Every structure is written in structure tokens, then in C-alpha cells.
Structure 1
Amino acid sequence: MTATAPAPALATSLAVDGRGLDGGLYLRVDHWAERLPTPVQHAVTAFSAYGLVLLAALMLWAWWRARGADSATMARALAVPLVVTAVFAADTLLKSVLAEPRPCQVLDAGRTLEVCPAAGDWSLPSNHTVIVFAGAAALWHVERRIGLLALLLAVPMGLSRVLVGVHYPHDVLLAAVLGTAAGFALTAAAGRAGPVVERARAGGLRRLLTA
């Protein structure tokens, strides 16, 4: 898998050009990744692409655990996937405004572990990273042990997006900050829907909402 050739002309027409921020660090990481053993490269690529499935599993576990908790906790557990979806949508919109090209599109990245996205698939902030950090912050409100596990997933996921060659480090850092802040605030607010869950627990959804 080879990254597309640098396109300096493209970058000049875009809103953000991240090469001057940490392009050098990105290239060092990329060149180091090229020298990793092939099985390690495949493992990193697979985790980076499909690690979000683990976040979904943690969401299901949080819902299951919340069945034995108070209604506010269940409200927060039910809100986690909605919060993550909303943060992802907002992040996608922000990417289109900032319009930063992928580093593998504008730098001499050589062979990247993941195929470089096409032009117009913007880089800043990282969608994968914002999703996992928003999920970790949201799950912290449901049960701290699950939130900690999600955080232990989020950190390597963010790092992997640089390692596979499709993001600058600052793409990941901004996504982590935004995802954490939004996920924490939105899920905290979702606890106010506890009375709605309490009524639902007395109705036809009792088996889904109560242990």
C-alpha cells in the first residue's frame, strides 16, 4: 500500500496546512512504521481500522450493567451511542470547514500502512480518535471501570492513526480534546432523563432497562 504522491498545489488552496506544525514528527513516525515487522504492521492496521468494534462492545456492557443501577445511570448508558454519533457528526462538519489535507497526500510519506485516502477526505480532526475519546468520556459517567477500559482503548487508537500514516499527531490531539470534552458534557446532561427511564422501566421496556 503506497501513499499518493505529494500535492503542494492542492494544499495551497485549503484552509489549513498542517505540515509546519508537526510534519517532521509525522514523517519520523511513518518511516519508523515502515521498518516494523510485517505481522506487527498487519496487527496495527487491523486495530486502527476495526478497533471501534471494541468500543461498541463496551457500550453494550455498560447498558447491561446499568440495568441494575438507578434510572439516571441507565439514561446515561442509553445516551452513549447517541452522544458518540452526535460528536462524530460535529467532527465531520469541522473537518470540512478546516479542510486540512491528509499528511500522506502532501508529504513524502512513502509507503503507509493504510492506503492514503483520496483528496477531499480531510484530516483534522481524526474521526476515529474523536469517536473513541467521546465514548470513553461518556462511559466514565456510566461506570468508571468501563470508562477506564475505553480510555485504554482510545489512547492506542489515536496513536495508531498516526502510525498507519493517515493523520498528523495534531489531528489526533485535537480530536482527543474535543471528543473528551463533548462526550463528558453531553452524557452528564443525559442523566437528567432519569425520570423518563423510570417511567419506561414500569412499562413495556422493563426487561431491557431493569436487571
Structure 2
Amino acid sequence: MGKRIDMISFDGVVARNFSAIARTHEWIKHVSLFGARYLIFIFALGAMLWVWNRSQEQERFLRLFELGLSGCISWGTTLLISYSIGRLRPYQTFHFEPLFRPLIETPSFPSGHATIAFAIAGTIFFHDRLAGIICMGVALLVGCSRIGIGVHYPTDIFAGAVVGLVVAWGMHVLIG
């Protein structure tokens, strides 16, 4: 039990401190806001364009289907987990104003943004290792940005990454 409490304490300390840094350093604030609000959409569109341009003509729709299904299934899985656990977001727990509030209030664990970003990155990775590694970096930036604006803990991002990558792997095995 003591190790669990230590991890929860560590998670809270990292989330609070990272968010405090983002609120006090203007460039980190702007990067965090961009990463948390817009990067997931740019990333998803870029991934779709990458799949379209890199796939053989007869495989394009199958690869896009794999990418879309990975994102949808991972997001649905995240919603089931998050409502089952019901973890409050850092700004709710520690009573501070986040840089940006989620448009739809859902529980914190796991991060839906991180889940979808890592599902996208995983899907790309299973078809092109180098591009996938670059995409993992983008997915990590999405996740860190969500911590920076004060809406997630590091373990929310980690769990989202696990869910997204596992679903992407499953879709690759079934479809890929």
C-alpha cells in the first residue's frame, strides 16, 4: 500500500510542478496550449495523408481503415476505463485554474488524447519503423502538453500510451 501512495504522490507532484512551470514560462505555456488543443488534429490529418501517400493504391483504404479503427477502438476503451475509475483531473484535485479546460469533462485516467495519439503512432510504426518513432515523439508531445495545461497526470499519459499501442498492435495483427 505504501508504494501505491508514493506513486500517487509522485504523480501529483509532477503534474502540479509541470503545470506551474507552463503557467509561468510564456513559451512553454504556448507550446503546451498548442500541443494540448491543436496538435492531435494536425497529427491525425498528417497521419492520414502519410498513409495515403505511402500505401500502394490497392492498400490505401485498408490502411486508412486500420488507422481509423485503431483510433476509435482505443478512444472507446479509454472512455470505458475512465468512467470505471473516475479519477479527478489535477486542477480539480489541487484546486488551480488550468491553462485550458477540456471541452467535455471526462475523468482523467487514462488520457484520451494520449491514447489516440499513441494509437496513431503505433499504427504508423507497424508499417514504417522510422516514421513510427517520429510519430511516437509527436504523441509524447501531445501527452506532455496535456500535463502542462493541468488536465492530466503522468500516469494518465502512460496508461493512454499503453492502451493506444496495444489497440494499434491488435488492429495490425487483425488487419495489417
TM-score interval for Structure 1 and Structure 2 normalised by the shorter chain: 0.7 to 0.9
- 1:158 is aligned to 2:116: no
Secondary structure at 1:142 match in 2 = coil
- Give 1:44 shift: 2.0
Q: Where does structure 1 differ by over 6 angstroms across 4 or more consecutive aligned residues? A: none
> What residue number does 1:11 align with?
none
CA contact (8 A) 1:83 1:183 kept: yes
- Give 1:149 shift: 2.7
> What residue number does 2:3 align with?
none
- Give 1:21 shift: 5.2
**Which string of whole-angstrom CA distances, capped at 9 and with x for unpartnered residues, describes residues 120-157 of structure 1?**
62100000000000111111123333322321210111
Q: Distance in 2 between matches of 1:63 and 1:146?
A: 14
> What residue number does 1:195 align with?
none
- 1:45 is aligned to 2:30: no
- Give 1:183 shift: 1.0
> What residue number does 1:67 align with?
56
Please, what is the CA RMSD of the aligned residues?
2.4
Q: Distance in 2 between matches of 1:158 and 1:137?
A: 15
- Give 1:65 shift: 1.3
- The structure carrying a bigger helix percent of its residues is 2
C-alpha change, 1:40 and 1:31, in structure 2 (3 Å) is closer
Secondary structure at 1:167 match in 2 = coil
CA contact (8 A) 2:73 2:167 kept: no
Q: Which residue, out of 124, 131, 147, partners 1:139?
A: 124
**Which string of whole-angstrom CA distances, capped at 9 and with x for unpartnered residues, describes residues 2-45 of structure 1?**
xxxxxxxxxxxxxxxx95452122111122222112x5423320
Structure index of larger Rg: 1
Secondary structure at 1:101 match in 2 = coil
> What residue number does 1:83 align with?
70
Q: Distance in 1 between matches of 2:21 and 2:10?
A: 19
Q: Distance in 1 between matches of 2:31 and 2:43?
A: 17
CA contact (8 A) 2:15 2:153 kept: yes
Secondary structure at 1:114 match in 2 = coil
CA contact (8 A) 1:103 1:165 kept: yes
- 1:23 is aligned to 2:12: yes
Amino acid at match of 2:62: A
> What residue number does 1:114 align with?
100
Secondary structure at 2:150 match in 1 = coil
TM-score under structure 2 length normalisation: 0.84
Identity of aligned residues (%): 25
Q: Distance in 2 between matches of 1:146 and 1:25?
A: 30
Amino acid at match of 2:72: T
